[in-house]
């Protein structure tokens, strides 16, 4: 920093600050010259050590010379050094690149899916979602299936980042394979899968590298009390609970009131489908991220069934849809 006029500056400090760059340049040039002399002497020794072979062309002779003089190793180490001029070893430089500021985690979801609707009914658990996936605010993908079977007794559905859901499915594949390899006559049920996913999501949250999903896990497994139906959810920070009916995403605001009013424990599969379709239709009208292409899945003691996608009949002639700003105060 400068204080006062140029006459107030210390002449010693001025001379040191101006000559320091020149000295560093001088030292760099001397080091380069010395290194060049060393390389030349090693090339000469390599030339003397290589027996004259008439079959070697000039390019092959140059390769042999470089191998003898260890120039290949130096060039590889030079490429592995970081760009800031530090003289770390190749392995340290690679580690710095892998874990340093150049590596970034996904801190915002890109391709996302919307709501999952799930509920228990008389014979098992039913789960539904649309097949759309948005790239930002654009409905980019129209045939994305976000409901999958896990093992013999469970279904999983996911809202949020689709690539993170694919990573979770990879975790579950490894888990079910490991469980199958025990060959002890037992298999993981929905409660165990839910418990495992709560630990995974909470672990990633604590690393500040979360999986951007809200997961719904449902299933049926025979237990001490007979056929036990299970339905639970876990979100991206590890918050989890078990409930008779669950909705994620925008459905948590629009579908939960409908489910609380109309859900019954003794519902048949047909009644459960009608209730789920009612929730999906409300979300189609109100959620811009939803599309009219839905998929329903169920799981009972007989196993999981995922039905092909289909569309619902819609009606857009409501007065509130034709002129939504009518009667609104201050609306333009």
Q: Is 18 noted as a catalytic residue in this protein?
A: no
- Contact of 115 with 158, CB cutoff 8 Å: no
Q: What is the mean pLDDT of the chain?
A: 81
What local confidence, expressed as pLDDT, does residue 174 receive? 95
* 8 Å CB contact between 258 and 227: no
Are the C-beta atoms of residues 13 and 39 closer than 8 Å to each other?
A: no
Instruction: Please give the residue that has the higher pLDDT: either 268 or 28.
Output: 268
Q: Alpha carbon 112 to chain centroid distance?
A: 11
DSSP result, 123-189 = SSEEEEEE--EEETTEEEES----EEEETTTEEEEEEEEHHHHHHHHHHHHHHHHHHHHH-SS----
- Residues 107-144 pLDDT 10s: 788 999 999 999 999 999 999 999 999 998 899 999 99
Q: In the structure encoding, which two tokens stand for residue 319, read together? A: 């007065």
pLDDT bracket for residue 74 (50, 70, 90): low
The band of 11, judged by pLDDT with boundaries at 50, 70 and 90, is very low
| pLDDT tens sequence across 191-206 | 999 999 999 999 999 9
Position 108 scores a pLDDT of 83
Which of 119, 153, 115 lies closest to 273, judged by CA? 119
Count CB neighbours of 128 within 10 A.
Answer: 26
Beta-carbon neighbour count of residue 188 at 10 Å?
A: 22
Q: Give residue 280's pLDDT.
A: 97
Which H or E run contains 15? helix 11-49
Which residues are CB-neighbours of 275 under 8 A, at least 6 positions away? 119, 258, 259, 262, 263, 267
Confidence of residue 12 (pLDDT cuts 50, 70, 90): very low
CA-to-CA distance for 39 and 222, rounded, in angstroms? 76
Catalytic member of 18, 103, 106, 301? 106
pLDDT score for 37 = 73
Whether domain 111-310 has CATH 3.60.20.10: the reply is yes
pTM over 0.75: no
Q: For the chain, what percent of residues have pLDDT higher than 90?
A: 57
69 pLDDT higher than 70: no
Q: Give the whole-number percent of the chain exceeding pLDDT 70.
A: 70
Nearest CA among 71, 70, 65 for reference residue 48: 65
Measured distance CA(165)–CA(149) in Å, rounded: 13
The length of the chain in residues reads 332
Q: Using a CB cutoff of 8 Å and minimum separation of 24, what contacts does 316-323 make?
A: 321/285
- Give residue 243's pLDDT: 96
Mean pLDDT to the nearest integer, 214-238: 93
**Contact by Cβ (8 Å): 179, 151:** yes
End-to-end CA distance of the chain: 55
- The model's pLDDT over 315-329, given as tens digits with 9 standing for 90+, comes to 988 887 888 777 777
Rounded CA separation 265/122 (Å): 6
Give the separation between CA 123 and CA 127, rounded to whole angstroms. Answer: 13
- Rounded to an integer, what distance in angstroms lies between the CA atom of residue 3 and that of residue 32? 39
| CA dist., res. 215 & res. 127, Å (int) | 12
For range 246-264, the mean pLDDT: 95
Residue 73 to residues 18, 66, 172, Cα–Cα distance (Å): 38, 9, 44
């Amino acid at each position: 920093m400068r204080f006062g006029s140029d006459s107030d500056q210390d002449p010693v400090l001025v001379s040191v600050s101006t000559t320091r760059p020149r000295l560093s340049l001088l030292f760099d040039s001397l080091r380069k010259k010395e290194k060049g002399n060393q390389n030349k002497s090693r090339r000469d020794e390599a030339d003397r050590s290589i027996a004259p072979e008439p079959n070697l062309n000039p390019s092959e002779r140059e390769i042999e010379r470089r191998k003898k003089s260890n120039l290949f190793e130096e060039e590889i180490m030079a490429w592995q050094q970081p760009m800031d001029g530090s003289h770390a070893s190749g392995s340290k430089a690679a580690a710095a690149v892998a874990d340093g500021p150049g590596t970034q985690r996904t801190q915002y979801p890109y391709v996302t899916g919307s709501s999952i609707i799930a509920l228990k009914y008389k014979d098992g658990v039913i789960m539904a979602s649309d097949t759309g996936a948005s790239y930002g605010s654009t409905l980019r993908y129209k045939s994305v299936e976000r409901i999958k079977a896990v093992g013999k007794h469970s279904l999983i559905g996911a809202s949020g980042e689709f690539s993170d859901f694919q990573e979770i499915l990879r975790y579950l594949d490894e888990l079910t394979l490991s469980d199958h390899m025990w060959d002890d006559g037992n298999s993981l049920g929905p409660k165990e899968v839910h418990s495992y996913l709560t630990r995974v999501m909470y672990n990633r949250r604590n690393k500040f590298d979360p999986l951007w999903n809200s997961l719904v896990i449902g299933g049926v497994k025979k237990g001490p009390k007979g056929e036990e139906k299970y339905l639970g959810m876990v979100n991206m920070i590890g918050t989890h609970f078990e409930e008779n009916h669950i909705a994620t995403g925008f459905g948590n605001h629009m579908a939960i009131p409908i489910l609380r009013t109309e859900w019954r424990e003794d519902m048949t599969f047909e009644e459960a489908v009608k209730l789920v379709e009612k929730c999906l239709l409300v979300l189609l009208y109100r959620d811009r991220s939803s599309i009219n292409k839905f998929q329903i899945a169920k799981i009972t003691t007989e196993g999981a069934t995922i039905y092909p996608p289909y569309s619902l009949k819609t009606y857009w002639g409501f007065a509130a849809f034709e002129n939504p700003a009518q009667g609104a105060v201050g609306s333009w």
